[in-house]
Amino acid sequence: MRRHTAWILTLAITLCTFGTLAADEVAVAPVAPAPVSQQPVINPDTQIFKRTVCVDGRIEDGEWDVFYSFSSEGWQVTTYADWDWKNLYVGARSNKPFDLLCTLDANDDGWFHGDENYEFKITRSADGNLVTAVSRYESRNVKTPTPTPVSESEASLVEVKGGQSAEQYEIEMRVPFVLIRNFKPSSGTKVGLQINVKASPEDTAWVPTNLLGDVAHCVLVAKKFASLKPLELGFDLKDSSVAHGEALVGRFHMTNAGTETLDVRSFVIAGEGKAGAYLSSERIRLEGLPPKKHFAHNTSTIIPSEMPVGSWALGAEVRSEDARLGGALVSFDVVEPFELELKLPATEVPADTAGVTIQVAIKNNTRRSARGKVKIILPVGWEIVKNADVREFIVNPRGSTSFATFKAKPPIGELGQVPVRAEVTIGGQTRTVQGSFNVVAR
């Protein structure tokens, strides 16, 4: 398993550089690096893959997907971009200290059009610390593009971490999509994105561009494929969201669309990147793929409870006797089996109120219905109507939500914060959710 997973760790980079090279196309040799002052030609990978990244200032192997990289006059830089349902992730690594400038046209409808154009500038202060400035470009009633700093609370939503290790300087950034007005990400969503870097604070030239709003036209994707034609690949999952303890079930398939047998000798399926530490892997051997032949293989692996919640990747790599023929990546979400939410009064509660309604919402993310009970715990003196401090519930499978509702009366004269705890038991396991509300004199 360890050996197979190691092969898959290289797959993300392969997909960025391997491309889909048709039989009649010619591979062009890399151009010699140009000086940074000449603005090297950079072609980013415009397919932004769905993957959750840990923003801790350390760019680890198998954690990110490459956006672009270049080497020029001793300066080596790699930039990264990923996304999940909640965030856009941007990173960069350099062998020299650097500044980072990220511009985002969230609707990919032209720079300085609407109110979803953002600039994220990360610069180094005199003491070496990172300084982050977040600005929005608002075109309404404005003729000239001028960055307007977002509010302090909005800026605090953006998480930036920097680090240095083994003569490498690294910056990671997480931009929550809630910052961008009326934006909802999904696979297939188009965005405009550019990641610029510069090595000298005094240098005014950003790489790859100084032109404001010169973004790459990107698409958010949950699948990536790369293969030498006439090999065609596909990878489908039974469910794109899987709870701890359940099986991630998929079907990998390939087709020889040509007229001659392809030298397909094996393929490996495993968790790609950091997912390889949690998922089982398998290698299947073949004796070639005849012309017009379609081959499919079912795969299944259990999601362990220690695998963190978030978006991960399952990969497949196809090999001939001595070379890669293609690869596939498919993203999936790891979720908790059940999500709990304690619903309390949103406003202050008058002390003479007749009663308070408390609800516990139980969302089922598993493939089976579930039965359980909820116990509500309030401070001494609070009276739960009919002494019904325990409620049983049944919740249907996959995304269904059940509610346990309680009514409670406050003790006379008690004011202030009221802590509430709910213990939810399902299948012999108990989880706790808690909160509070405020009681005031009328």
- Note down pLDDT in tens along the chain; length 442 residues: 333 443 443 454 344 444 333 323 323 333 334 444 566 789 999 999 999 999 999 999 999 999 999 998 889 999 999 999 999 999 999 999 999 999 999 999 988 888 889 999 999 988 889 999 999 998 777 777 888 999 999 999 999 999 998 889 999 999 999 999 889 999 999 999 999 999 977 777 899 998 888 999 999 999 999 999 999 999 999 999 999 999 999 999 999 999 999 999 999 999 999 999 999 999 999 999 999 999 999 999 999 999 999 999 999 999 999 999 999 999 999 999 999 999 999 999 998 898 999 999 999 999 999 999 999 999 999 999 988 999 999 999 999 999 999 999 999 888 999 999 999 999 889 999 999 999 998 7
Instruction: Tell me the pairing of strands 190-198 and 216-221.
Output: antiparallel
| Tokens, residue 219 | 């698409």
Q: Which residue has the tokens 């939500």?
A: 401
Q: Are 120 and 158 within 8 A, CB to CB?
A: yes
User: Count of domains in the chain?
Assistant: 3
Instruction: Please tell me whether residues 362 and 290 are part of one structural domain.
Output: no
Cα–Cα dist 377/361, whole Å: 16
Does some domain include residue 49?
yes
Q: Is the dihedral of CA 62, 68, 71, 73 positive or negative?
A: negative
Cα–Cα dist 376/390, whole Å: 6
Cα–Cα dist 109/117, whole Å: 10
Instruction: Please tell me whether residues 40 and 169 are part of one structural domain.
Output: yes
Q: Are 384 and 406 within 8 A, CB to CB?
A: yes
Task: List C-alpha distances in Å: 135 to 115, 148, 173, 262.
Answer: 11, 5, 15, 53
Q: Are 367 and 398 within 8 A, CB to CB?
A: yes
- Domain end (from 179, 194, 221): 221
Task: List C-alpha distances in Å: 366 to 63, 338, 339, 371.
Answer: 27, 8, 11, 12
Q: Are 9 and 42 within 8 A, CB to CB?
A: no
Instruction: Please tell me whether residues 152 and 207 are part of one structural domain.
Output: yes
- Domain end (from 280, 305, 335): 335
Cα–Cα dist 32/298, whole Å: 44
Does some domain include residue 19?
no
| Tokens, residue 168 | 């490498």
- Domain end (from 221, 256, 290): 221
| Tokens, residue 86 | 């909640």
| Tokens, residue 365 | 């993310």
Q: Are 249 and 299 within 8 A, CB to CB?
A: yes
Provide the greatest CA pair distance for the chain: 87
Does some domain include residue 251?
yes
Instruction: Please tell me whether residues 208 and 251 are part of one structural domain.
Output: no
| Structure confidence by residue, pLDDT tens digits, 181-201 | 889 999 999 999 999 999 977
CATH code of the domain covering residue 176 = 2.60.40.1190
Phi-psi region of 222 (alpha: psi -120 to 50; beta: other; left: phi over 0): alpha
Q: Are 313 and 275 within 8 A, CB to CB?
A: yes
Instruction: Please tell me whether residues 419 and 355 are part of one structural domain.
Output: yes
Phi, psi of 33 (to 5 degrees): -55, 135
> pTM (2 decimals)?
0.87
> Cβ of 141: how many Cβ atoms within 10 Å?
5
What burial class does residue 27 get, using C-beta atoms within 10 Å of its C-beta: 0-12 exposed, 13-18 middle, 19+ buried? exposed
Instruction: Please tell me whether residues 348 and 253 are part of one structural domain.
Output: no
Instruction: Please tell me whether residues 343 and 288 are part of one structural domain.
Output: no
Does some domain include residue 46?
yes
Q: Are 281 and 269 within 8 A, CB to CB?
A: yes
Instruction: Please tell me whether residues 180 and 35 are part of one structural domain.
Output: yes
Instruction: Please tell me whether residues 290 and 421 are part of one structural domain.
Output: no
Q: Are 420 and 344 within 8 A, CB to CB?
A: yes
Q: Which residue has the tokens 């890669």?
A: 324
Q: Which residue has the tokens 């990923």?
A: 82
Cα–Cα dist 134/119, whole Å: 6
pLDDT at site 11: 54
Instruction: Please tell me whether residues 31 and 176 are part of one structural domain.
Output: yes
Q: Are 315 and 8 within 8 A, CB to CB?
A: yes
Kind and range of the H or E run holding 5 = helix 2-9
Instruction: Please tell me whether residues 318 and 400 are part of one structural domain.
Output: no
**Edge-to-edge strand ranges of the sheet holding 294-302:** 231-237, 247-256, 294-302
Does some domain include residue 360?
yes
Domain that holds residue 273: 228-335
Instruction: Tell me the pairing of strands 216-221 and 47-50.
Output: parallel
Angle at which helices 11-18 and 2-9 cross, to 10°: 30
Cα–Cα dist 73/6, whole Å: 32
CATH code of the domain covering residue 294 = 2.60.40.10
Cα–Cα dist 420/428, whole Å: 22
Phi, psi of 258 (to 5 degrees): -90, -170
Does some domain include residue 347?
yes
Instruction: Please tell me whether residues 350 and 331 are part of one structural domain.
Output: no
For the chain, report the end-to-end CA distance as a whole number of angstroms.
66
Does some domain include residue 14?
no
Does some domain include residue 12?
no
Cα–Cα dist 175/84, whole Å: 11
| Tokens, residue 361 | 């919402």
